[in-house]
Structure 1
Amino acid sequence: MHSTFGGCGYVGQQVACHEIADGGDVCALVRTVDSVAQLADLGITSRQVDFDQDVPVLALQLTDQVLYWFVPPPSHGDQDQRLARALAAIEPGALPRRIVLVSTTGVYGDCQGEWVNETRPLNPQTARGRRRAHAEQLARRFGQQQGIPVVALRVPGIYGPGKLPLARLRSGTPVLAPEFSPWSNRIHVNDLVTVCLAAARKVDPAPAYNVSDGHPTTMTDFFFQVADAYGLPRPPAISWAAAERQLSAEMRSYLAESKRIDNTLMKEDLGVVPDYPNLASGLGALDH
């Protein structure tokens, strides 16, 4: 299978390596020369392209390819102009056969701890969430206009090798006291890679899949479990009032949303049952 990767970082590299191992041809579109060199060391062909430029710097010929889109939206505004430019750069006569868009569960906004499946209306309440929802809208409109399946993967927090808050724990940064901490959701990177590959291959896929291990915990419990697994002191727990003073605006925005992600469709329709269905199993598989 031929595939093009918009962005090829922590998750994208692993998906790309699986595609290559499966006999596929892969090309990644990345922003920096350093990324081109890093991917070359992994055996991944790539091209440098900056989707922050107003005028597309290349014409994308993606005939019969899967376009994996990992590029995050810009860090400001309510729209994803990077994806808009990428879609505009696709040659009309050289369309991909499918787009797999990595989105976020943040598009649902605060759900007050309720279980959330894919039928829930999008209600992003942060600029970050609105940019992701805009990306889904852009991709969906493009797919409808061109007759191309678009699969949005709504992904929560990702953890795995090299993707744990160990530096934060060692610094003693506080967390919200357990009684105040909202529900949050996680997925092990290996399971996310499996989901991405399945989304590229599924016959008649759903338009969106929630991606999670299916066992939500609180944000505070996540930090406590990681600390325990690595023999680090648990971080101090503080009140909401103290969190307003001591935690970053970004962290406070995550703590302002509470939801439990239902992954039934991922398991029953996409056919992916997580190898790591909870934090304990995922953390236990990592080198400590």
Structure 2
Amino acid sequence: MRLMILGAGYSGRAIAAELSGKAEWIGGTTRSADNFPALKPLGIEPFLFDGQALSAELGDAMRGVTHLVQSAAPDADGDPLLRLAGLRLDRMMPDLEWVGYLSTVGVYGDHQGAWVDEETKCRPVSQRSQDRLVAENDWQGFSQRTGVPVAIIRLSGIYGPGRNAFVNIKRGRARRLVKPGQVFNRIHVADIAGATAHLIAEQAGGVWNVTDDLPAPPQDVVAYACELMGVEPPPEIDFDTADLSPMARSFYGECKRVSNRKLKDSGYAFRFPDYQRALETLWRDGDWAG
């Protein structure tokens, strides 16, 4: 396996670590050369990619790639790689066997707390989720045209070492916002990596929800983390009167419970099926700070 991770950020680096023993070579892109020193110790050969141009170095590396994980965000003009490569992508990557496109459960939009699965009609609310859905459709079109399996990996709220409620509490940024009936799903970064490796092994295409078993109110997560830390939780704040940025407020404009049944039925066993066990492990092992 020769793996390219387009957008080797938090999730991409975890995927690289997961597959380091199975891939003979791993490349990853970043927007800044300042990130190269963080990628090289992980066994990732770094390349620059700003979404506006494909360098000759990146193009040369992609010719030998067999597996692609696309984590770079789309914009109003669509998926950056498909936009730049157009119909030439399969010729640029003649050995390509599988693609994983990291998307978001935000494409489902608001379902007022009801359960959704991969068959649920998407009706994204935010512009960023609308852009993701367009990119998903474009990648599915690529799969239909070329026969290369493309797994659309829809992620819920990502957390793990260095990115979790403990970190927010320690930095004094944790808030218990309360909006009655509001729930979110979450996903530990280790399960993003594990699920991606599983889908590669299965050569699976199609849409997959990679999300936990326990959609829960966000204030409950903060309270549980405080309990584990032995500290007093911050006071509850009414959502309607809270001082929030437009983006932060927009996250609360959608409420749904996302099913992961399809992924589990395919044989994947979640390492952290709910936030409680995940937080307990992060706190016990002491690696919550990253």
TM-score (norm 2): 0.87
Match of 2:177 in 1: 176
Matches within 5 A, 1:1-288: 1-51=1-51, 53=52, 55-58=53-56, 59=59, 61-63=62-64, 65-74=66-75, 77=76, 79-85=77-83, 87-88=85-86, 90=89, 92=91, 94-95=93-94, 96-166=96-166, 168-169=168-169, 170-171=171-172, 174-177=175-178, 180-203=180-203, 205-243=204-242, 246-269=243-266, 271-286=267-282, 287=286
Counterpart-to-counterpart distance in 1, 2:90 and 2:108: 33
Q: Is the contact between residue 211 and residue 258 of structure 2 (CA under 8 Å) also seen in structure 1?
A: yes
Checking the alignment, whether the CA contact within 8 Å between 1:180 and 1:239 is kept in structure 2 is no
SS of corresponding position for 1:285: helix
Tell me the secondary structure at the aligned position of residue 283 of structure 1: helix
Question: d(CA) in 1 for partners of 2:29 and 2:134?
Answer: 21
- For 2:181 and 2:222, locate their aligned partners in 1 and report how far apart those are by CA, in whole Å: 11
The percentage of aligned residue pairs carrying the same residue is 28
**Rounded Cα–Cα distance in structure 2 between residues aligned with 1:173 and 1:285:** 20
C-alpha displacement at 1:91, in angstroms? 5.4
What amino acid is aligned across from residue 226 of structure 2 in structure 1? A
Asked if the contact 2:73/2:79 (under 8 Å) is kept, the reply is no
Q: CA deviation at 1:215?
A: 1.3
Q: Which SS does the other structure have where 2:91 is aligned?
A: coil
Instruction: Pick closer, same or farther for the CA change 1:85–1:221 going to 2, 3 Å.
Output: same
Q: CA RMSD in A?
A: 2.2
Q: Report the AA paired with residue 143 of structure 1.
A: S
Separation in 2, partners of 1:125, 1:103: 15
Shift of 1:17: 2.3
Within 1, Cα distance between the matches of 2:23 and 2:55? 29
Partner letter of residue 254 of structure 2? E
Using the TM superposition, give the Cα deviation of residue 23 of structure 1 relative to its aligned residue in structure 2, in angstroms.
Answer: 4.5
Task: For 1:46 and 1:173, locate their aligned partners in 2 and report how far apart those are by CA, in whole Å.
Answer: 34
* 1:172 CA displacement: 5.4
On the 8 A contact 1:87/1:142 being kept in 2, the answer is no
Whether the 8 Å contact between 2:26 and 2:43 is mirrored in structure 1 is: no
Within 2, Cα distance between the matches of 1:144 and 1:45? 30
Deviation at 1:104, TM superposition (A): 0.5
Deviation (angstroms), 1:39: 1.0
Alpha-carbon distance in structure 1 between the residues aligned to 2:35 and 2:84: 18
Letter in 1 for 2:113: G
TM, length-normalised to structure 1: 0.88
Letter in 2 for 1:222: V
Q: Secondary structure at the match of 2:193?
A: helix
Distance 1:181 1:234, change over 3 A: farther
Q: Which runs of 5+ in 2 are unaligned?
A: none
- Would you identify which runs of 4 or more consecutive aligned residues in structure 1 move more than 6 Å? none
After TM superposition, give the deviation of residue 129 of structure 1 in Å: 0.8
Give the Cα–Cα distance (whole angstroms) in 2 for the partners of residues 119 and 35 of structure 1: 38
- 1:14 CA drift (Å): 2.0
